[in-house]
Amino acid sequence: MKNKKYWKNNGTKENPIYDFIYPISWSEEEILKENEENIEKIKGKKCEWVKQLENMPKNIMSAAISEIKNGNVLKSISNNNWPNNGSIVVSFRDKFHEENKKLNGVQWRELNDPHYCKEEIAEIFNKTEYLLIH
């Protein structure tokens, strides 16, 4: 894609927080193209922020990839040990699609908390909680 990518680690090396800020001038078509490229990066494990996703359980990873395929935009990926040691939190721009709210092995909650998020999809694996939030 002709546009520069804007993934930035706003955390530390040990606890990265990768934020993606796409240019305001991007059209929905350009955003969907970026999503396609992000899926290829996830499949190929080709960049630093993808490494954070490698430890996510399969059910929540499936929901995350489905959201990207359906046009939802990744905003950030963080591994800052919240809410548990080893937790990974992935933030999306838009509301979750209905099919991902009902996947086996994950729990969807509507929160509408102005200080946290509107909704979340969670999976607990080996006593660690993994989250997708919007």
Question: Could you tell me if residue 77 is inside a domain?
Answer: yes
pTM listed for this prediction: 0.82
pLDDT at residue number 2: 41
Tell me the H-state helices in 4-134: 28-44, 48-53, 58-69, 98-101
Question: Could you tell me if residue 42 is inside a domain?
Answer: yes
Question: Could you tell me if residue 1 is inside a domain?
Answer: no
How many domains in the chain? 1
Q: pLDDT by residue (tens digit) across 24-65?
A: 888 889 888 888 888 888 878 777 777 778 789 999 999 999
Q: pLDDT by residue (tens digit) across 69-122?
A: 999 999 999 988 899 999 999 999 999 999 999 999 999 999 999 888 999 999
DSSP H or E run through 7: strand 7-9
- Residues 6+ positions from 10 with CB-CB distance below 8 Å: 17, 18, 19
Question: Could you tell me if residue 2 is inside a domain?
Answer: no
Structural domain span for residue 107: 7-133
